[in-house]
Amino acid sequence: MLLGIGLDNEDGHKRFTHSEQFCIAGGSEETHERLTETALKTMEELASRGTRLEEVESRELEDIILKNTPA
């Protein structure tokens, strides 16, 4: 499972998004949305490759995550 934690929340809103493959907690609205988008795109790419999260090597996963992080 991927875990994303946002630490820049100043509005007091508690944000939590999860699926079977990832969990995103905290962050400002913008940060939480970026983390969620990154996780979703990463999972989509793994699925299109026919690879499960458990099967991908950490270096390859890092590359996929960086590629799918919105600018």
Q: Is the Cα dihedral 42, 46, 49, 54 positive or negative?
A: positive
| Contact status, residue 68 vs residue 41, Cβ threshold 8 Å | yes
pLDDT band at 71 (very low <50, low <70, confident <90, very high): confident
3-state secondary structure 45-71: HHHHHCCCHHHCCHHHHHHHHHHCCCC
Domain boundaries defined on the chain: 2-67
Q: Are strands 16-18 and 22-26 parallel, antiparallel or unpaired?
A: antiparallel
pLDDT digits (tens, 9 = 90+) for 12-65: 999 999 999 999 999 999 999 999 999 999 999 999 999 999 999 999 999 999
pTM here is 0.90
pLDDT of residue 55: 95
